[in-house]
Structure 1
Amino acid sequence: MFSGDDISTEFLPREQKQEHSSERDIEDKFLDKAAKVFYCSLQKLQCDFKETQQGPAKHSVEAAQSFLEYCCFQALAQLTQDSNFLHDSDFRHFTFDFMVAWETPLANDEDNKVECKKTPANDEAEEDVSLFFSDLMPFLVEVENTVGVEAFARIAPCIPIIADAICVYPQFETLTASTSGRLPFPVYDKYIEALETSLCNMKKKNERSFLKELPMSEEEHVMEIDGTSQMVIQHIGSKSLTGRLTLTDHCLYFEPSSLVSHKDAIKYDLSLPIDHRVSTELAGPWGSRMFDKAINYQTTSPEQRIVFEFPELLGSRRRDYWLAIIQEVIDAQKIIRKYKLESTCKIEALARSALGIVRLQATREMQLLIASPGALLTFNLAQNMLRGGDHVLEALLSTFENATSEETSQGMKINSTCLVQKSFRDALESFKVWKTVQSQQPLFYAVKHGEPTLLEVAVKEARESSKYLHNAKEKEEEVKFDGIGTNITLLKELLQPVRAVLSWIRTLLSWNKPLHTMIAFILVAILILRQDNCIVVSILQPSRS
């Protein structure tokens, strides 16, 4: 953002000259707001930005976006210092306005090219300079009240609580499902409010008194608790127990209900190096398979099969939610073992998983239709990518390894070579969801203005390579009838008593058990004789009368 005195109108087209005076008023208001955040003059910010420019000159649109990102990252570093920044309405407006401004040069790029062709080229050097300033003008003016996917994908992941670079695209698609792929401010504002609520709820869950009775280690953090207001039923064979279910970033705990409180918890360690599998399952009373509202949890060593049922009147959203978050913890632990993550990298992976669950909870809080809850979770999505998931995980591992300490990050800020964002662990600690460990130094991720991160590049490549496979899979699903498999299974369960009677009759006719067959024949003969006697009596009674 440059001051109004620095912008020359000499080389602007006639249409822009007419609009220049009205844009100046809006520009001054915006610059006043920006100055309060930057705590420095805009001239100094402009000089600092020019010092960071290296290599050949960028295209005017790229230069405009690069300068905007420079201002944006500087402002975010100031705005996110307060632990209650999500509650601040100024923060919500600033971040949304930055996203609107970021995509404005792109939206006007084609129009600017047409205007350039109509403008006489007397002095190419001066024209390039004036066009650069004219490209900066649109994002000083709020010409759009909605945000596109690319702007959201670039700005939102710089705030770990709002979005993750891996699952930012499905998150945006879910938020804009009812707004034609554009994010308006009311939806964004409601999403931030729901995030704040979800963070507070997760903090309260980690402070529940009954957690002291669970065999939890000090490094475990609670992700979700169920069974307090709604019923959770555990099925092992034909035995069923109601109780309370607790999910941490390492384990799953089930506490069977008793008359007064709960019995000792049953622990299922999801961090063990064995094969953990969760899938949808049908469940019902006395071992029947009637209702599609359960999760099947299986392990290979020791071999066991447990079913958790989540009863609800309509649909199976509660079951789908629990299936997604349990799978997320399993995938996170699997990646930690696969890449042998330790210490800081391991904590960052678990924190990334926890914030993904927070965002999923916030999306459910907004009562939005979630087609696939797992697509909003970091490791769940990375593991289920049709193509390119391994490259995304490798880029994520490189991001973990390149996390910088506080001293290095301060040096980066002074040199202005790149800016930084807080780690996911620090984000959870700043909201007091996780306890702060004094021995651990704050972590930062380097983000260069005007350049995508390695993780962003990997995610975009994976999305492009998976697009054709997704289209083929969708066409294949169109041929199938929705829910036909579940309906057939339910019909089989309802016909189970008839099948049992037919099987019993077949056994009698086979004479495998002669005693049972003889007894059955005698009983049938007695019934027939009694029925014949009743018929004879009914015939003789009228004749006697």
Structure 2
Amino acid sequence: MGDIFVAEQTIHSRTPNGILSLAAVVSIEQFSRMNGLTGQKMQKIFKALVPESLHNDARYLVEYCCFRFLSRDSSDIHPSLKEPAFQRLIFITMLAWENPYHEELANTSEKASFQGKLVRVSAFVRIAPAISGVSDRSTVHNLFKALAGDEEGISLNVWLTYISELLKVHEGRRSYQIREFPQFCEERILCIASSSKRPVLKWENNMAWPGKLTLTDRAIYFEAIGLRGEKDAIRVDLTRHGLRVEKAKVGPLGSLLFDSAVSISPSSESKPWVLEFVDLGGDMRRDVWLAFISEVIALHKFIHEYGPEDGDESLFHVYGAHKGKERATTSAINSIARLQALQFIRKLFDDPSKLVQFSYLEYAPYGHVVCQTLAVNYWGGPLVTKSVVAGNQPIQGAWHSNEVFESSNHVFDIDGSVYLQKWMRSSTWASSASTTFWKNSSIRQGVVLSKNLVVADLTLVERAAETCKKKYHMVEKTQATIDAAMLKGIPSNIDLFKELMLPLAITVKNFEKLRRWEEPHLTLSFLVFAYTIIFRSLLSYIFPMALMIMAAGMLTLKGLKEQGRLGRSFGKVTIRDQPPSNTIQKIIAVKDAMRDVENSLQNLNVTLLKIRTILLSGQPQVHCHHS
């Protein structure tokens, strides 16, 4: 499966910068032929386009051959992905981009295996988003982490499995019988949850109703299954402003026992939907569906904030701008498809929302600038300069006197596409980060094949996404440092001790309530139970019964955990963050900690004295001896 064969090599392996690796030779030659040329001719064209300093850079030659072929298609999902040979060629291209040179002369007359090779993060981030549907620029780093797992890179098997599942997801969407649902005629179905093994329950008035859940690009539908079959579907419009979706706990009689639900609040006045996602295979299903729904909501927030208003006539002044909303929707749909594929191959990230573009950018640092570049990418295009003269015949080249064209504050993509100033309705355009970014956006050095493909340089989305990734990494690193520091010192360890002793403390507290007759009916019931055990000579059964109850409880918890109904946070120890402190505050904290230790020792001593008194059948006596 990892073998590749090159019949003819037309480029020279020896270059001024080193000997081309086998992967580089294969990638250059194969893509050159797919472009209708030989590797040698592609190399000549490449040298004619790039600066002289890049003439002998094999990495950029690999980029040019690959990107030139990819630029010929603008489909939502690249059609060549269906071909196994193309899937392997992309993997080889990523290897070639990472290591374009080799120490020894490559022999391309024989089969060579790329099985066992790993694609690293830099190569994946550069090549994968260039292929329509495989990844987006904003979340490609998180996609790499999900696919790589504990490994240092992505293997060929993992890559082929991911692409295969991704294609199955898209094929499955096309197979949905939309004609059975006339209400979906103007919507695109994204996900359907109706499996009996993985039911969806809608909780209402402490009652759970199983049903069929359908997510589209505009709404979510639930069809309850009653005794008489399916009922009419109820709908929540996900395009509505002010919609909130969050994790929730559910349970019988309001017990909030199961941490496996999602709450969807259409507004502050209406009653929220509470949907529980039971999963017998793990505890990630709720989080995945939360990411699905959040992405659709975030998509429409993005369109409302960064896109032109509906019915804006200026949409027709920019070529292709009327398709901007469709492009943004397609991007979100592809994000959800990728998350579905990762779910099927069990390669999910800790937080699935980091794998879907708009949900991730909504809270990421510098995310608003990335959203701006995406808006320019989706709605930007060449200005349409037509003027109607006598006879209603449009003449190309006549410039409008309209104010749309007179403003000098439009922003431009790397290929010259324009995004009009009047579309900049979001307040984020006035931020200092945004101003700085767009001031330097016109600087370019590479070969622009399209607004999404640039050789030897970065697109605007890539530049913003790279900065966003660095800032996000900085935030995570800072938080990790704080978390690590919080576990040091006496106060933190005392908090940890208290958290670990919490179950015992709760038990002692409940027995104290019984002893003080705070709830007489409970105390009376406990005494009746205790006297029954004593006078019925059942004491010998207490220990085995306790073990049986404990075992039953453990099995119940295990079953609920496997169903994903307890949530991923169940069983985790939570330690309160300690506020930053100076030297004096630290001394006071140590003093307080020592006082807590002293109190604990006093309580322990009192308990030991009581036990000693009972054993010796006498009064406790303590003598202090001074030497």
* TM-score band w.r.t. shorter chain: 0.5 to 0.7
Q: Are the equivalent residues in 1 in contact too, given 2:28–2:62 (CA < 8 A)?
A: no
Is 2:47 the partner of 1:50?
Answer: yes
Q: Indicate the residue corresponding to 2:356 in structure 1.
A: 377
State how far apart, in whole Å, the 1-side matches of 2:131 and 2:78 are: 13
Residue 193 of structure 1, aligned match among 164, 175, 178: 164
Q: Are the equivalent residues in 2 in contact too, given 1:224–1:248 (CA < 8 A)?
A: yes
Is 2:288 the partner of 1:321?
Answer: yes
SS at the partner of 2:214?
A: strand
Shift of 1:238: 2.6
* More moved, 221-230 vs 73-82: 73-82
Q: Indicate the residue corresponding to 1:257 in structure 2.
A: 225
State how far apart, in whole Å, the 2-side matches of 1:27 and 1:351 are: 33
Q: Indicate the residue corresponding to 1:452 in structure 2.
A: 458
Residue 473 of structure 1, aligned match among 479, 493, 499: 479
Is 2:116 the partner of 1:92?
Answer: no
Using the size of structure 1 for normalisation, the TM-score is 0.67
Q: Are the equivalent residues in 1 in contact too, given 2:24–2:97 (CA < 8 A)?
A: no
Q: Are the equivalent residues in 1 in contact too, given 2:243–2:267 (CA < 8 A)?
A: yes
1:483-522 aligned at under 5 Å gives the runs: none
In structure 2, relative to structure 1, the CA distance for the partners of 1:253 and 1:404 (3 Å cut) is farther
Q: Are the equivalent residues in 2 in contact too, given 1:232–1:243 (CA < 8 A)?
A: yes
Q: Are the equivalent residues in 1 in contact too, given 2:24–2:93 (CA < 8 A)?
A: no
Shift of 1:33: 3.7
Q: Indicate the residue corresponding to 1:70 in structure 2.
A: 64
Q: Indicate the residue corresponding to 1:243 in structure 2.
A: 211
Shift of 1:83: 6.9
State how far apart, in whole Å, the 2-side matches of 1:3 and 1:300 are: 64
* More moved, 374-383 vs 38-47: 38-47
State how far apart, in whole Å, the 2-side matches of 1:377 and 1:27 are: 32
Paired residue type of 1:397: A
Shift of 1:196: 1.1
- For residues 155-205 of structure 1, give each alpha carbon's deviation from its aligned partner in whole angstroms, at most 9, with x where no partner exists: 11111211111111100111111322x112111111111111111122223
Paired residue type of 2:67: F
Q: Are the equivalent residues in 2 in contact too, given 1:153–1:165 (CA < 8 A)?
A: yes
Q: Indicate the residue corresponding to 1:305 in structure 2.
A: 272
Paired residue type of 2:467: E
Q: Are the equivalent residues in 1 in contact too, given 2:98–2:123 (CA < 8 A)?
A: yes
1:164-313 aligned at under 5 Å gives the runs: 164-180=136-152, 182-205=153-176, 207-212=177-182, 215-216=183-184, 218-229=185-196, 230-273=198-241, 275-313=242-280
Q: Are the equivalent residues in 1 in contact too, given 2:353–2:359 (CA < 8 A)?
A: yes
Shift of 1:350: 0.9
In structure 2, relative to structure 1, the CA distance for the partners of 1:419 and 1:49 (3 Å cut) is farther
Aligned-residue sequence identity (percent) comes to 26
Is 2:379 the partner of 1:401?
Answer: yes
SS at the partner of 1:337?
A: helix
Shift of 1:476: 4.8
Q: Are the equivalent residues in 2 in contact too, given 1:79–1:91 (CA < 8 A)?
A: no
Shift of 1:353: 0.5
Q: Indicate the residue corresponding to 1:119 in structure 2.
A: none
Residue 126 of structure 2, aligned match among 133, 154, 164: 154
Is 2:300 the partner of 1:333?
Answer: yes
In structure 2, relative to structure 1, the CA distance for the partners of 1:248 and 1:477 (3 Å cut) is farther
Q: Are the equivalent residues in 2 in contact too, given 1:226–1:244 (CA < 8 A)?
A: yes
The list of structure 1 runs, each at least 4 consecutive aligned residues, that deviate by more than 4 angstroms after superposition, is 1-9, 23-32, 77-84, 141-144, 475-481
State how far apart, in whole Å, the 2-side matches of 1:27 and 1:458 are: 29
Paired residue type of 2:81: L
SS at the partner of 1:380?
A: helix
State how far apart, in whole Å, the 2-side matches of 1:4 and 1:36 are: 11
In structure 2, relative to structure 1, the CA distance for the partners of 1:83 and 1:381 (3 Å cut) is closer
Q: Are the equivalent residues in 2 in contact too, given 1:156–1:163 (CA < 8 A)?
A: yes
1:429-448 aligned at under 5 Å gives the runs: 445-448=451-454
State how far apart, in whole Å, the 2-side matches of 1:289 and 1:25 are: 59
Shift of 1:255: 1.2
Q: Are the equivalent residues in 2 in contact too, given 1:74–1:419 (CA < 8 A)?
A: no
State how far apart, in whole Å, the 2-side matches of 1:104 and 1:25 are: 10
Q: Are the equivalent residues in 1 in contact too, given 2:47–2:55 (CA < 8 A)?
A: no
SS at the partner of 2:346?
A: coil
SS at the partner of 1:371?
A: coil
Residue 37 of structure 1, aligned match among 12, 34, 37: 34
Q: Indicate the residue corresponding to 1:102 in structure 2.
A: 97
Using the size of structure 2 for normalisation, the TM-score is 0.58
Shift of 1:35: 4.8
Q: Indicate the residue corresponding to 1:361 in structure 2.
A: 340
Q: Are the equivalent residues in 2 in contact too, given 1:419–1:447 (CA < 8 A)?
A: no
Paired residue type of 2:301: K
* More moved, 27-36 vs 396-405: 27-36
- For residues 188-247 of structure 1, give each alpha carbon's deviation from its aligned partner in whole angstroms, at most 9, with x where no partner exists: 111111111111122223x245422xx33x431111111343321112333432211111
- For residues 310-369 of structure 1, give each alpha carbon's deviation from its aligned partner in whole angstroms, at most 9, with x where no partner exists: 123464211111111001111111111112345411111111000001111111111224
SS at the partner of 1:368?
A: coil
Q: Indicate the residue corresponding to 2:562 in structure 1.
A: none
State how far apart, in whole Å, the 2-side matches of 1:29 and 1:466 are: 36
Is 2:467 the partner of 1:461?
Answer: yes
In structure 2, relative to structure 1, the CA distance for the partners of 1:372 and 1:28 (3 Å cut) is closer
State how far apart, in whole Å, the 2-side matches of 1:452 and 1:25 are: 26
In structure 2, relative to structure 1, the CA distance for the partners of 1:27 and 1:294 (3 Å cut) is closer
- In terms of fraction of residues, the more helix-rich structure is 1
Shift of 1:27: 8.3
State how far apart, in whole Å, the 2-side matches of 1:370 and 1:28 are: 34
Structure 2 gap ranges (5+): 1-5, 311-321, 384-413, 417-449, 536-627
State how far apart, in whole Å, the 2-side matches of 1:25 and 1:333 are: 46
Paired residue type of 1:203: R
In structure 2, relative to structure 1, the CA distance for the partners of 1:404 and 1:222 (3 Å cut) is farther
* More moved, 452-461 vs 469-478: 469-478
SS at the partner of 2:129?
A: helix
Higher relative contact order (CA 8 A, sep 6+): 1
Paired residue type of 2:181: L
State how far apart, in whole Å, the 1-side matches of 2:290 and 2:466 are: 27
SS at the partner of 1:95?
A: helix
- For residues 473-494 of structure 1, give each alpha carbon's deviation from its aligned partner in whole angstroms, at most 9, with x where no partner exists: 234556699xx9xx99x99xx9
Shift of 1:396: 0.8
In structure 2, relative to structure 1, the CA distance for the partners of 1:379 and 1:31 (3 Å cut) is closer
Shift of 1:461: 0.6
- For residues 107-143 of structure 1, give each alpha carbon's deviation from its aligned partner in whole angstroms, at most 9, with x where no partner exists: 87xx99xxxxxxxxxxxxxxxxxxxxx99x9xxx989
Structure 1 gap ranges (5+): 113-133, 406-417, 421-443, 510-519, 536-545
Report the number of matched residues.
419
Q: Are the equivalent residues in 1 in contact too, given 2:142–2:354 (CA < 8 A)?
A: yes
SS at the partner of 1:246?
A: strand
State how far apart, in whole Å, the 1-side matches of 2:518 and 2:22 are: 91
Shift of 1:72: 0.8
